[in-house]
Amino acid sequence: MKRAFLFPGQGAQKVGMGKDVYEKYEEAKKIYDKASEISGMDIKKLCFEGPEEELNKTENTQIAILTTSLALLEVLKANNINADIAVGLSLGEYAALIYSGILSFEDGIKLVKKRGYYMGNLLPKEEYSMAAVIGLDSKKIEEVCSNLSKEGKFVVPANYNCSVQTAISGESSAIDEAIEALKEAGARKVVKLKTGGPFHTSKLEKAKEAYAKELEKVTFNIPKISVIKNLDGTFYKKDDDIKNILANHIVNPVRLDKAIALMMQENVEQYVEIGPGKVLTGFIKKEDRGAQTYNISDVESLEKFLAL
């Protein structure tokens, strides 16, 4: 049976995540301890105790979610459970890259610490927000955003999550206008998101430039497991310029819709989301109703899966 591992992105975090797994499994404990040592941050305290306000800062959120996903993954690996394909949503791509061997654990932790810092701090001063558009074709969403852009307003698609959901990002006032225009265009629902930064848009150009310098310090390896890129929904290849891909990842939309289509084309039967939340398997279910989906976020869900 063909299996894919899915790793969540920013927004999935919650205070207390990973605590029970850390306390029960030595493999998980080692991951938290090692990640804290490499990053010079108390990741355990951040994940287990918060406070929420601290955990929700981009510079903290990214490394906290990555460490939690990798801790759960380590327990699966210790039980000889592996996947044929790995994919992550935005930040989640780093867990996929570490799992595949493209990135070493140490380099992955160092990069994500820097990535979170730059994405959280090298931002324009304006007010930005995001919204999820449900039940409207992405081409129509692009059209609405384009019309508003012609009026000098900044709003663009940032996350193509699946065929029936796309997240848009932009200046707060432009997002409010887009919400009304998208409803008029036939969207079933438009929901304003808690995430505030203009992630995966050209507004993060400064963060991209700073991060590109960090990527220059890292050596990337040939993958042992197939990983799908967020950038275009295709597999990483041996001759890819990974540094360029990961730098551009910050300013380009996430194409999870294409990644899901590719996994279906590859006849993946079982999808296992590893980390906090259930967002990614929700997207899978919208595209492939017959797929087996599992979420592993704590001891209960982990042991339930191991008992299959």
CA distance 73 to 85: 14
Q: Which domain holds residue 168?
A: 128-192
Q: Is the pLDDT of residue 263 over 80?
A: yes
Rounded mean pLDDT of 122-139?
A: 94
Calculate what percentage of the chain has a pLDDT beyond 70.
99
Residue 197 lies inside a defined structural domain of this protein: no
pLDDT band at 201 (very low <50, low <70, confident <90, very high): very high
How many other CB atoms sit within 10 Å of the CB of residue 52?
10
Is there a domain that residue 293 lies in?
yes
CB 196 within 8 A of CB 130: yes
pLDDT at 219: 96
183 & 207 share domain: no
Domain shared by 221 and 290, yes or no: yes
The domain that holds 170 is classified in CATH as: 3.30.70.250
The whole-number pLDDT of residue 125 equals 87
User: Which of these three, 192, 213, 229, is where a domain ends?
Assistant: 192
Number of domains in the chain: 2
Do 117 and 133 sit in the same domain of this protein?
Answer: no
Q: Is residue 116 part of a domain?
A: yes
Active site residue 200: yes
Question: Mean pLDDT across the stretch 236-260?
Answer: 97
149 is a catalytic site residue: no
Q: What is the pLDDT of residue 193?
A: 86
- The verdict on 220 and 281 lying in the same domain is yes
Query: What does the alpha-carbon distance between residue 146 and residue 154 come to, in Å, rounded to a whole number?
Result: 9
Whether the pLDDT of residue 195 is over 90: the answer is no
Q: Which amino acid is at 97?
A: L
Averaged over 225-234, what is the pLDDT?
98
CATH number of the CATH domain containing 238:
3.40.366.10
Nearest to 299 by CA among 92, 52, 47, 17: 17
Options 100, 200, 226, 297, the catalytic residue: 200
Residue of 36, 39, 69, 90 marked active site: 90
pLDDT tens sequence across 91-113: 999 999 999 999 999 999 999 99
Structure tokens at 297: 């976020």
Using CA atoms, how far apart are residues 35 and 37, in angstroms rounded to an integer?
5
pLDDT band at 194 (very low <50, low <70, confident <90, very high): confident
Q: How confident is the model at residue 57 (pLDDT cuts 50, 70, 90)?
A: very high
